[in-house]
Structure 1
């Protein structure tokens, strides 16, 4: 093996370790949420911010992070992000209360955005052509490792030691990535960058943050609450201001002309697909297994492997299959398989055996694995190499912001469906039913019993089970519709993009 090839692989290893750490940091706290609740106490909404705070800042800052990487150096941004991520993970176990813990999780999301955007845009400079596709496929597989084994590792740590050690393990992994990147990753930046579009960056980050915060407030308030309506209005006005700013600056953070390419738009739609067909389950299922079904953290972690284990292999397989099948065919087929698994899982009630749960979860994981390994490479391929950081930022913002919004929306739907199924069979007022439903949505069965003390645990679990099934059927329908769009949009978009590129070359000639 040549020195250059070895260096490439070590850089890829550094980014892949980070790609393992980020989803582990996302899924492990979901498994640990009951234990974190026992340590800190707090309302269901306060506990939900253990996940929401990270997702809010991570998704909101990805676009800015990609621009910073292109302008100031991909290695510099990656090193800075990983360093801050490791430091915050080490500090988290020392938090004295839930409020500070949630604030540190929010800061960790900012660091994660810098690490992710810097690492992915750096890879786009190190690899070219088919090698780039394979490299991004390995990154997708690394995410699968974090998703697959994160819950198991977290459950084992919780059962054997204490949930605090989860974040120390995250620190160790981040430090290993930091050492490799510091030694082998070359510095690169966009030579045509004319500085940061700070008005656009601040406006976009603010707008997306306000929008996501509004969605996260819905489960506690309602869609029609004055605060929620005010936040949505503010977000809309901020997005309008962002578009006006981007049309006037010479070097915009977001090149709006990219949205003339159907394939680019199709990739953004595809980016949001895993949010409601897969990612939300990484949060909801551990809560269901541990909080409602009474599984141990270790048992829940092992069961979740059925959902995410296909990500260990199939993203790489999908990368090789593109030699014979189009990306839209692979992605659309994967989403249809995922939809079949979601519907199958909707037929499995609370209290079923592990095998009954594992099989539909495996189908869901297998289906989402096909587009999973293709999306990042497709996102980078539709823009010039020098703007890879921007492309990564746009795509990742769409994906992560979609995940944050999806988690908030499905949590609100699960709470509403649970209240609907409990109303009429539970012994209590409407307010008590809503309060119990909110606790059930966060896996706090004991808290739900306090709201409805005259309603048996079996009735509460049955109401939650029916609500979970209703939610999965909604997710099934959304996934089928997305698959149809992908089949039509990406293939057509590829042809139109080629024609647009040829026209641009003719004009240049």
Structure 2
């Protein structure tokens, strides 16, 4: 049985109400500071890669793993940390994650070898997974009612701002102080967070699952499934989507997930209680950030490349254009929380957000080389609005459906869906883009001497780099080759947009269908 408590803040009955609010503010500030660091690192580290590669004389593959190691570790361990938090306590797990992240970032600051940097970034991803899962569980424990809605609105706002402005902040640090300061700032911020941990520990009364042990086998199987899935998606454009290697990885993913489900049903204290996922409303809410990953995060990642490669924008100009996509994150999560506090249906707002996401993504079809920005401002703002309205609101609503002693597990699963789907969506976008570009250019590229392997050219163009392949052909034919690549890139971009819009539409239908039925009042504990 889990330990029961009437108040989430220790000693609140004895002390004045104002003291309880101060403790809540301290916990909220510490969680939000830590949460801001994580998505900033996810989206911003890529800006530093050229400088890291030059300084450490790193090859392409190990350099890419500076980003990939963090993302994969993050996606794979988020669910496990949620379960661990329910066992050892959320404050302790949160502090452990922040410590691991800070230590790994400190190693990154002084790394003299790219392999050491890759290892440090993987460890930082493990710490980041703890910060997200345990931070959300802490807010669910400490806040109730409208205050919980406001807290999760801030959680969603800060996470969204970290993703949106991470590249800009990292760019300023790289240009003004060097790439190592991207990681040094993480150390400084998390050191401030850790200073607040003793006070957090005294303030929070935990709901732990007594006598439980960490589900090592279940955790290992889930990590293996995530690795197989992300590898299969990433290699789809290189090995062929119907090739034996990719199909084998996907089949392995299904087999391992099936084994994972069997193990979780038989383990006394599973990493994921399948009864929690069986709640229709909870599952519906967990699918909402998946739609955001395909409709918003992919654009956040790849639209700047399109603007530069097909539109001829400088990096600064492309960043300015991207503000139309990200500016709704500044205000709309809090607006959504206030509307819910005034009696507006939270599920109604969430469904509206998904409709706007579908409309916005389809509207981005208006993009073309040389397009008037006023024409595309509306679909960009609509897409950003669709993402921002649900940010934070989903977390609070989902965790209200779960028993307090399972809040860590539930937060872990929700954030696994969010962060895992981001990794999958970005990989799917990049791989599909390269596949379509390759199909459009394979025969023509062969006719340009010096262009190189058509598949390699397609992969380079998909990353937004057209000048590189164009620079390898004779100057007399460079103009026509550039036009070929721009046209192929533009066409592939629009093809993939239709795929993303279709995915978001399917998820909208699923969310509506699942949330229409009556869910359990609270998911039962084992």
TM-score scaled by length of structure 2: 0.87
Partner deviation per Cα, 1:120-171 (whole Å, 9 max, x = no partner) = 1122211122221221111111113213332322233334443332222222
- What is the deviation of 1:67? 1.1
Tell me by how many angstroms 1:176 deviates: 2.2
User: What is the aligned-residue RMSD (CA, Å)?
Assistant: 2.7
Structure 2 residue aligned with 1:19, among 29, 35, 39?
35
2:338 aligned to 320, 323, 343, which one?
A: 320
Partner of 1:507: none
Deviations 1:398-417 (A, max 9, x none): 11111111111111011112
Tell me, in whole angstroms, the C-alpha distance in 2 between the residues paired with 1:354 and 1:100.
Answer: 43
Query: Kindly tell me: are residues 287 and 166 of structure 1, through their superposed partners in 2, closer, same or farther at Cα, counting changes over 3 Å?
Result: farther
Moved more, 474-483 or 307-316: 474-483
The 3-state SS of whatever aligns with 1:497 is coil
For the residue of structure 1 that corresponds to 2:391, the secondary structure is helix
Corresponding residue for residue 141 of structure 1: 157
Correspondence for 1:484: 509
Contact map agreement 2:310 2:490 (CA 8 A) in 1: no
**How many Å separate the matches in 1 of 2:67 and 2:377?**
24
- CA deviation map 1:23-42 (0-9, x unaligned): 11111123444555555676
After the TM superposition, which residues 266-285 of structure 1 pair with which residues of structure 2 at under 5 Å, given as runs? Answer: 266-285=284-303
Residues paired across the two proteins, number: 499
Determine if contact 1:58/1:109 at 8 Å carries over to the other structure.
yes
Note closer, same or farther for the CA distance 1:274–1:44 as it changes in structure 2 (3 Å cut).
farther
Instruction: Report what 1:497 is aligned to.
Output: 520
Kept in 2, the 8 Å contact 1:219–1:408? The answer is no
Match for residue 216 of structure 1?
A: 234
Q: Bigger CA drift: 348-357 or 176-185? A: 348-357
Q: Taking structure 1 as reference, are residues 436 and 145 closer, same or farther at Cα in structure 2, changes over 3 Å only?
A: same
Structure 2 unaligned spans of 5+: 1-16
Q: How big is the shift at 1:237? A: 2.4
Query: CA separation in 2, counterparts of 1:149 and 1:379?
Result: 27
Aligned to 1:56: 72
**Equivalent residue number for residue 265 of structure 2:** 247
How far the C-alpha of 1:13 sits from its partner, in A, is: 0.7
Identify which range, 250-259 or 72-81, moves more after superposition. Answer: 250-259
What is the CA distance between 1:94 and its match in structure 2? 3.7
Tell me the CA shift for residue 10 of structure 1: 1.2
Change (3 A) 1:280 1:473: same
Question: Residues 161 and 330 of structure 2 are in contact (CA less than 8 Å); yes or no, is this contact kept in structure 1?
Answer: yes
Kindly indicate whether the alpha-carbon contact (under 8 Å) linking 1:273 and 1:479 is maintained by their aligned counterparts in 2. Answer: yes
- Is the contact made by 2:328 and 2:381 (CA closer than 8 Å) also made in structure 1? yes
On the 8 A contact 2:235/2:431 being kept in 1, the answer is: no
Is residue 155–residue 300 contact of structure 1 (8 Å, CA) maintained in 2?
A: no
Q: Which range moved further: 428-437 or 385-394?
A: 428-437
User: In structure 2, what is the Cα distance between the partners aligned to 1:233 and 1:27?
Assistant: 30
Q: Distance in 1 between matches of 2:46 and 2:318?
A: 11
Counterpart Cα distance in 1 of 2:55 and 2:169: 20
- Aligned pairs for 1:317-396 within 5 A: 317-322=335-340, 323-352=342-371, 355=374, 358-396=377-415
* Corresponding position: 1:434 with 2:439: no
Match of 2:196 among 163, 173, 180: 180
Partner of 1:235: 253
How far 1:438 sits from its partner (Å)?
0.1
Distance 1:438 1:304 in 2: 23
Indicate conservation of the 8 Å contact 1:34/1:291, yes or no. no
Aligned to 2:6: none
Structure 1 residue aligned with 2:326: 308
Bigger mean CA offset, 104-113 vs 201-210:
201-210
Q: Residue 352 of structure 1: CA displacement?
A: 4.0
TM value normalised by structure 1:
0.89
Q: Is the 8 A contact 1:410 1:471 kept in 2?
A: yes
Residue in 2 that maps onto 1:2:
18
Deviates more, 1:283-292 or 1:41-50: 41-50
